[in-house]
Amino acid sequence: MTDATALTPAVTKPRSLPKVNSRAVVMTLYLLFLMLPIYWLINMSLKTNTEILGSFSLWPQNLTFENYVTILTDEAWYMGYVNSMIYVVMNTVISLAVALPAAYAFSRYNFLGDKHLFFWLLTNRMAPPAVFALPFFQLYSSIGLFDTHIAVALAHCLFNVPLAVWILEGFMRGVPKEIDETAYIDGYGFGRFFVKIFMPLIASGIGVAAFFCFMFSWVELLLSRTLTSVDAKPIAATMTRTVGAAGVDWGVLAAAGVLTIVPGALVIYFVRNYIAKGFALGRV
């Protein structure tokens, strides 16, 4: 399916076909391709293990919510979700708090070494987490932060802060400088101007940056798994529990997977009107 569609852009579409139809067909095929694996996961999460392994069916024959009950009643399971949410929110707040003033500086002023600094920041977004896993582990162990939420939140700043600065800088550049100058003439100090006037102007940019920070912190596993053991263990790492002596508990694994999709889906639903704009990173 993918290969067939991948080749088509180079070919001009036949003009005789009604335009709306060919578009709808392409989109339907693509969305179907996206949804099928997710549907399969949901399908499996509603089956018992015997049914999963015993017979092959496109939908659950005896619908069961047993797998979800297992997760939502077992503290070891649902605390994984809570832990993940805690460090994701912490990370988003920290990233935005430090990125806002920095992005303002980059968008408004020339200063010694600004271009090099900006690229250096971006290089951190390019640093493979695999390179940092071991040093992070040693660093946070030595200062007693191992297995805390803040450790993961700080570690994720490695790639989220540069990204937030990059996105915010793009949005801030779109705000005319005259606004700053008028505000200063009107007697606003920097802090009051920034919070009262400037931040509302780039509210959508802040939303977009928050969305991206949330996204990349929520989906990351390597660092969060390396930096935690019990108290701050993220849900993604908890999922390895399903592999036991009796083989893999497929039903529970699938149900846990489905539940990790839910927060993302909720966030997307709330920002759906800004997604397209947001993906332009304020640069269009």
Partner 1 sequence: MQQKTTNHKAWFLVLPVLVLVAFSAVIPLMTVVNYSVQDTFGNNQFFWAGLEWFQEMLSDERMWNALQRQLMFSGIILAIEIPLGIFVALNMPKSGFWSSFCLVVMSLPLLIPWNVVGTIWQIFGRVDIGLLGHTLEALGIDYNYTQDTISAWITIIVMDVWHWTSLVALLAFAGLKSIPDAYYQAARIDQANRWKVFRFIELPKMMGVLMIAILLRFMDSFMIYTEPFVVTGGGPGNATTLLSIDLVKMALGQFDLGPAAAFSLMYFLVILLISWVFYTVMVNLDKKGM
* Burial degree of 48 (CB within 10 A; 0-12, 13-18, 19+): middle
Q: What span, in angstroms and rounded, lies between the C-alpha atoms of 210 and 113?
A: 27
Backbone angles phi, psi at 249, to 5 degrees: -85, 85
Contact 48, 62 (CB under 8 A): yes
Distances (CA, A) of 166 to 122, 179, 264: 8, 21, 22
Can you tell me whether residue 248 is helix, strand or coil? strand
Could you tell me which stretch among 61-69, 70-78, 199-207, 233-241 binds partner 1 (CB under 8 A)?
A: 233-241
Site for partner 1 in 158-197 (CB under 8 A): 158, 161-162, 165, 173, 176-177
Taking residues 1 to 40 in sequence order and writing x for each that binds partner 1 by CB under 8 A, - otherwise, the string is -xx-xx-xxx-xx-x------xx--xx--xx-xxxxxx-x
When asked if residue 98 is in the footprint of partner 1 (CB under 8 A), the reply is yes
Q: How far is the CB of 175 from partner 1 (least distance, A)?
A: 9
Q: Which of 16, 21, 62, 123 binds partner 1 (CB under 8 A)?
A: 123
Nearest to partner 1 of 39, 65 (CB atom):
39
Backbone angles phi, psi at 191, to 5 degrees: -60, -50
Q: Which of 17, 72, 93, 221 binds partner 1 (CB under 8 A)?
A: 221
Site for partner 1 in 248-267 (CB under 8 A): 250, 253-254, 257, 260-261, 263-265, 267
Q: What span, in angstroms and rounded, lies between the C-alpha atoms of 115 and 169?
A: 13
Question: Which residues are bridge partners to 243 per DSSP?
Answer: 248
When asked if residue 203 is in the footprint of partner 1 (CB under 8 A), the reply is no
Number of residues that bind partner 1 (CB under 8 A): 107
H-helix segments, 220-274: 222-226, 235-238, 250-271
Nearest to partner 1 of 10, 245 (CB atom):
10
Q: Which of 119, 179, 203, 229 binds partner 1 (CB under 8 A)?
A: 119
Could you tell me which stretch among 67-75, 93-101, 195-203 binds partner 1 (CB under 8 A)?
A: 93-101
DSSP 230: S
Backbone angles phi, psi at 244, to 5 degrees: -115, -170
Contacts of 270 (CB under 8 A, 6+ apart): none
Site for partner 1 in 33-92 (CB under 8 A): 33-38, 40-41, 44, 52-53, 56, 58
Q: Which of 125, 147, 197, 207 binds partner 1 (CB under 8 A)?
A: 125
